[in-house]
Amino acid sequence: MKKVAIVCIAILLVSIELRGEFVLKEIPSAGHMICAVREDGKQVLNYNDRNFITIEFEKGLKVQYHSDSDDVFFSSPLRELYTFLIVDDGVHNVKVKVNLSQDAGILRTRRAAGGEAILAQLGNPLIYGVNGLYDMDEDASLEWYCDAWKWDDTKMKREADGTLSASFSAVISNHFMNFYFRPHYYRDHLGYRSHEPWTRRLNSRSMNGWCSWVAYYYDLDAGKIERTADFIAKNFKPYGMNFLQVDNGFQGKVFTRFESIRSPGPDRRDVNLVNLFKGTSKRFPEGPPQIAKIIEERGLEPGIWMNTDLFAYEMPEDKRDILCRRPNGKATQSHWIRFMADMSDYTITNYYVPLFKYIKDAGFKYLKVDGMRHTFLEGLNTAYVPQEARRRFRNLSLAARLTCGDDMYLMSCWGVMNEIAGAFDACRVSVDCGDNWEDFHRSLYYSAEFYSTHRIVFVNDPDHVVMHAHPEWSRTRVSNVSLTGGLLTYSDKNEQMTDESIYTLQRALPALETRTAECGDIHPNHPSARLYSREYLTSDISEELAMKQMGPSVEPGVKSPFSTLWAVHIEKPYGQWCVAQRNAIWSLTEDDTPMEKLGLDPSKTYLGYDFWEQKFIGEVKDSLHWDNLPYGRTKVIALREKLAIPQLIGSTRHVSMDAVSVKNIEWKDKELTLSLDCVESVSETYSFFVPEGYGLGKVECEGGEAKSREIGSDGLLEIEVTAEEKNVTLRLKFE
């Protein structure tokens, strides 16, 4: 009870906006920019006691200086428009350097449109044409507008003190450049009021696992968990799968949602949720701790599901009523939750905190909290004034984090909810995904619609992938989740997994730690992707019905409309490349995407490689060509800037080609050396482009065996590497 009381006090303190143990560092101010240096040829703007923007220009040039708050500003939410004005006529060169914190990146403050790709980033690439930067630590965005500008480098620079900077050059002919600055961007401007990265940052590590829901629903037992964990340990753990999560069906007494809705519940004198969860049964004689032990013994992180529903409730005479009730006294209800708690400090402390503590003490490292949207929307939001509803819901989120601690990975299910920011690491943004076309296309569409928040507010979970459905659909989904950095889970029985589906999932593991590079709302007239009909709930559906279900695009004439085209920009210490993916949510006709719509410099030449076809497509200039793509299918193409030396262009190991197994690449004295992180006893093929004038001499492989094929007439060189150890060094000596 002592620990429970401590947690209760912590919740109360946070609820009245005091800051205690939850603080990681001091809260930064919300602005503003102050002109700190005014010199001939140089101007420096300061923000939060550091040099923020440095503008360098020709000495002797007449420029307009702003003083203090003479620029245009709006007070709530605070935003600032700063104009750098050149008085002299003519064309002038200007260099700008932006200094940010230790965690920052590109951010386009609008969504893709008109055939543009949705932009994503891994590392710190500077994406062509994106005129915006975002500071993750301080939640601040900066944009600039002028008639001609270009990045000075392809990636952000890590300074000696660990901070990041980005520089660009501009040619100003219309005499001015505008800087648009918005401090507390997600928190104040986009409405995520609980997003305070200076208080707590989400756990952004890659999460890959199995969920029991579609595989077994309520029909779970210890033997099935053991066999699944053994299967994962053999087939997927070496590739990066790290957790196994049991869903509803493990409790001593299982209450399905239909029982909860239709039956009044047994006459109980004890409504403590802990007793429901710690109950034993023939299926799990030792209760949830047995589940955690089985999973952990296989080297995986144990995960479990819980619901905010009280499931079975009859108010005891000797205890207070904890149901959420409207002003007329009527209890709130949802189609999914019958007995909703009022989430008062008393209820959270006496009913939910003990459950969170029990789950932690049972050995679980991953917790999925279900029913969150219904608790808020149909429950608290209909019973209390908005401010009080949000306070109670926020306190539930904080109670989960404070009780479980930072070591447990928390996932909220489902819906993009502001109040879970900083408390939960991940948020499910899609409904349950089964083996039918409706669920597949909804998941793909919701992943695109809600990408604004991804790995900034929380990690997006598009729900599990069902691998035993149409193999092309599964390939599309796992490719998209892996490349865009979502929470990647599958939900199939061992016997449903074919050699093809095992291979497909292995190529997507682990999901990258990719972050959104764009934000904002989509066009409100996009289809909601929520059309029900028996003819759609099948894994065998005609193209006519598939197209009819999704509805028409709101971008007529656009051959790759919003949600179908992605560009993931990857920056590693040894190089940069872009992976473009086209997903046929509708059946798509052939198209040519200009390079700038992928975030690539149209003046450069790129080398393209098709991952799933394992095919070198040659040089790509000006635009990338896409063939017809039937609904449910995908194309994944890696694009690397063409160099004058031999270079890696693709691999079979990972759909990113290859941000996973390649740890370093070095070119020295006509020798190309790759440091690889391999799966032992597995063969993978690495593809290289060899320009004219080079011939392959000797191939050496430490920690494995390498077999080379003849260089093709198109310059393609393929090397098959069979790993004997985890760490492999591949050396290609050219003549």
In sign, the C-alpha dihedral spanning 307, 313, 317, 323 is positive
* Residues 598 and 581: beta-carbon distance below 8 Å: no
The answer on pLDDT for 30 being more than 80 is no
Residue 61: per-residue pLDDT = 87
The answer on pLDDT for 606 being more than 90 is yes
Residue 311: per-residue pLDDT = 72
CA gap 633, 215 in Å, rounded? 24
Return the minimum-mean-pLDDT range out of 189-198, 497-506, 531-540, 629-638.
Answer: 531-540
CA gap 557, 33 in Å, rounded? 43
Query: Which tokens hold the place of 82?
Result: 């700063």
Three-state DSSP class for residue 555: coil
Q: What domains does the chain contain, in order, with CATH numbers?
A: 34-189 (no CATH), 661-735 (2.60.40.1170)
CA gap 433, 490 in Å, rounded? 10
Residue 527: per-residue pLDDT = 61
* Residues 676 and 728: beta-carbon distance below 8 Å: yes
- Mean of pLDDT over the chain: 88
Looking from the CA of 276 toward its CB, the CA atoms found within 13 Å total 26
Nearest partner of 176 among 74, 57, 79, judged by Cα: 57
CA gap 497, 221 in Å, rounded? 20
Residue 63 to residues 118, 175, 323, Cα–Cα distance (Å): 38, 9, 65
Residue 74: per-residue pLDDT = 79
CA gap 75, 158 in Å, rounded? 33
DSSP 560: S
Query: Which tokens hold the place of 717?
Result: 């060189």
Average pLDDT over residues 536-549: 66
The answer on pLDDT for 341 being more than 50 is yes
Return the minimum-mean-pLDDT range out of 90-99, 348-357, 533-542.
Answer: 533-542
Residue 257: per-residue pLDDT = 47
State the CB neighbour count (10 A cutoff) for residue 92.
16
Residue 503: per-residue pLDDT = 98
Average pLDDT over residues 210-228: 94
Q: Which of 348-357, 548-557, 617-626 has the highest mean pLDDT?
A: 617-626
More confident residue, 41 or 687: 687
Average pLDDT over residues 364-374: 95
Average pLDDT over residues 438-456: 90
Average pLDDT over residues 326-353: 89
> Do strands 118-122 and 565-572 pair parallel, antiparallel, or not at all (unpaired)?
parallel
Q: With bands split at pLDDT 50, 70 and 90, how would you rate the model's confidence at 298?
A: very high
Q: With bands split at pLDDT 50, 70 and 90, how would you rate the model's confidence at 176?
A: confident
Average pLDDT over residues 132-149: 94
Q: Which helix (H) or strand (E) holds 10?
A: helix 2-15
Q: Between vectors from CA 85 to CA 83 and to CA 87, what angle results, nearest 5°?
A: 165
The answer on pLDDT for 668 being more than 70 is yes
Segments of 495-633 assigned E as strands: 515-516, 565-572, 575-583, 591-594, 606-610, 615-620, 623-626
- Report the Cα–Cα distance between both ends of the chain, in Å, rounded: 74
Residue 118: per-residue pLDDT = 97
Percentage of residues of the chain with pLDDT beyond 90: 67
CA gap 650, 658 in Å, rounded? 7
pLDDT tens by residue, 679-711 = 999 999 999 999 999 999 999 999 999 999 999
Residue 314: per-residue pLDDT = 61
pLDDT tens by residue, 566-583 = 999 999 999 999 999 999
Return the minimum-mean-pLDDT range out of 322-326, 552-556, 592-596.
Answer: 552-556
The amino acid that residue 695 corresponds to is G
Q: Between vectors from CA 697 to CA 692 and to CA 699, what angle results, nearest 5°?
A: 120
CA gap 514, 580 in Å, rounded? 14
Average pLDDT over residues 432-442: 81
The amino acid that residue 535 corresponds to is E
Residue 261: per-residue pLDDT = 35
The answer on pLDDT for 504 being more than 80 is yes
* Residues 703 and 724: beta-carbon distance below 8 Å: yes
CA 322 remoteness from chain centre: 36
Report pTM. Answer: 0.93
Q: With bands split at pLDDT 50, 70 and 90, how would you rate the model's confidence at 538?
A: low
**What does residue 443 show for φ and ψ, rounded to 5 degrees?**
-65, -40
What length is written for the chain?
Answer: 735
More confident residue, 585 or 694: 694
CA gap 54, 39 in Å, rounded? 11
Q: Which of 226-240, 270-284, 402-416 has the highest mean pLDDT?
A: 226-240
Return the minimum-mean-pLDDT range out of 61-65, 105-109, 442-446.
Answer: 61-65
pLDDT tens by residue, 69-108 = 777 877 888 888 888 888 888 889 999 999 999 999 999 9
The answer on pLDDT for 14 being more than 90 is no
Residue 265: per-residue pLDDT = 41
* Residues 574 and 666: beta-carbon distance below 8 Å: yes
Residue 12: per-residue pLDDT = 45
The answer on pLDDT for 530 being more than 60 is no
Residue 262: per-residue pLDDT = 35
Residue 639 to residues 91, 477, 576, 595, Cα–Cα distance (Å): 35, 21, 9, 10
The answer on pLDDT for 380 being more than 80 is yes
The answer on pLDDT for 491 being more than 90 is yes
Q: With bands split at pLDDT 50, 70 and 90, how would you rate the model's confidence at 33?
A: confident
Residue 264: per-residue pLDDT = 38
CA gap 384, 376 in Å, rounded? 10
Average pLDDT over residues 513-531: 78
pLDDT tens by residue, 268-284 = 444 567 777 887 788 88
Query: Peptide bond before 510: cis, by omega within 30 degrees of 0?
Result: yes
CA gap 643, 573 in Å, rounded? 17
Residues 6+ apart with CB under 8 A from 328: none
Return the minimum-mean-pLDDT range out of 390-399, 451-460, 524-533.
Answer: 524-533
Nearest partner of 710 among 688, 684, 683, judged by Cα: 688
CA gap 614, 608 in Å, rounded? 11
As a whole number of angstroms, the longest Cα–Cα distance in the chain is 89
